[in-house]
């Protein structure tokens, strides 16, 4: 580990923090980063002085406000969320169910926004959470609009199962992706947890490429796909327009179906 470069060591300290470990003491950071206590102490000091980390009264470190301010500039993070939020709010007001916005990062979806009514069903998804593309509605909406080679590589790879309903058969997955492109809607039925169903639609950037997906998660038994589909597609189109997308005939018909 001493062979690691200075930037790598500093980033290893930041990488020590995740959703399972949002608060760490110096020794935890040292162990998780694989760095000596001396080095960790020096790097944590620099990060804390800068504001990337914050030290609480008990001497425990947390991710700092400065990092959060910087992250607000991420085009695929808060910046996208800022454009999308009014439309997500409208979707929430229309459905009062969990509403989500996600982007693709390699073979996973990352949730960049999540509006959850206190009344809505509890789902194990939070801002920053990741899931494999094939398991979620937003993931299927994103994968269905990737280049053919990306889709092929994904379908050929191992498809993890989270419930008995998770799509793990490549042939079936390819058929589902074609259906998503045809209808403009992706449905994940109990693929993540055996009680939830999500309905998703793709969000397009100004150049027409699919850059994000919107979804609503509802209890499987109460699922009203015919009602939710149009609402989710409308929200997705609203965000796409706000991003500068101009529907042409084909896309327009596809997404409006």
Q: Applying CB under 8 A, which residues contact a copy of itself?
A: 5-8, 10-11, 14-15, 17-19, 22-23, 42-43, 46-47, 50, 52, 54, 62-65, 67-79, 82, 85-86, 89, 92-93, 103, 105, 110, 112, 114-118, 126-128
At closest approach, how far in Å is the CB of 152 from a copy of itself? 23
Nearer to a copy of itself by C-beta: 99 or 200?
99
Nearer to a copy of itself by C-beta: 105 or 194?
105
At closest approach, how far in Å is the CB of 113 from a copy of itself? 10
* Structural tokens at position 2: 């001493």
If 0-12 CB within 10 Å is exposed, 13-18 middle and 19+ buried, where does residue 203 land? buried
Name the nearest CA neighbour of 104 among 156, 43, 150: 150
Nearer to a copy of itself by C-beta: 22 or 157?
22
Say how far apart CA 114 and CA 168 lie, in whole Å. 26
Tally of CB atoms within 10 A around 59: 8
Nearer to a copy of itself by C-beta: 5 or 38?
5
Nearer to a copy of itself by C-beta: 67 or 170?
67
Say how far apart CA 221 and CA 108 lie, in whole Å. 27
At closest approach, how far in Å is the CB of 204 from a copy of itself? 16
Residue carrying the six token digits 């191992």: 158
Considering Cα of 245, then 176, then 216, then 76, what sign does the dihedral take?
Answer: negative
At closest approach, how far in Å is the CB of 69 from a copy of itself? 4
At closest approach, how far in Å is the CB of 154 from a copy of itself? 19
Say how far apart CA 113 and CA 100 lie, in whole Å. 5
């Amino acid at each position: 580990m001493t062979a690691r470069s200075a930037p790598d060591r500093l980033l290893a300290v930041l990488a020590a923090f995740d959703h399972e470990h949002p608060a760490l003491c110096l020794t935890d950071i040292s162990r998780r980063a694989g760095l000596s206590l001396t080095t960790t102490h020096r790097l944590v000091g620099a990060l804390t002085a800068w504001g990337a980390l914050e030290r609480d009264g008990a001497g425990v470190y947390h991710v700092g406000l400065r990092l959060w301010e910087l992250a607000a500039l991420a085009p695929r993070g808060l910046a996208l969320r800022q454009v999308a939020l009014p439309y997500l709010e409208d979707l929430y007001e229309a459905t009062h169910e969990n509403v989500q916005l996600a982007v693709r990062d390699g073979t996973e979806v990352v949730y960049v926004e999540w509006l959850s009514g206190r009344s809505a069903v509890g789902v194990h998804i939070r801002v920053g959470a990741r899931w494999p593309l094939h398991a979620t509605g937003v993931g299927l909406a994103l994968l269905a609009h990737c280049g053919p080679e990306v889709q092929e590589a994904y379908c050929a790879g191992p498809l993890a199962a989270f419930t008995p309903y998770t799509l793990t058969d490549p042939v079936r997955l390819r058929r589902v992706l074609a259906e998503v492109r045809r209808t403009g809607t992706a449905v994940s039925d109990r693929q993540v947890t055996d009680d939830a169903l999500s309905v998703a639609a793709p969000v397009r950037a100004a150049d027409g490429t699919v850059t994000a997906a919107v979804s609503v998660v509802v209890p499987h038994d109460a699922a009203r796909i015919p009602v939710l589909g149009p609402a989710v597609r409308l929200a997705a189109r609203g965000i796409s327009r706000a991003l500068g997308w101009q529907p042409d005939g084909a896309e327009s018909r596809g997404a409006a179906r």
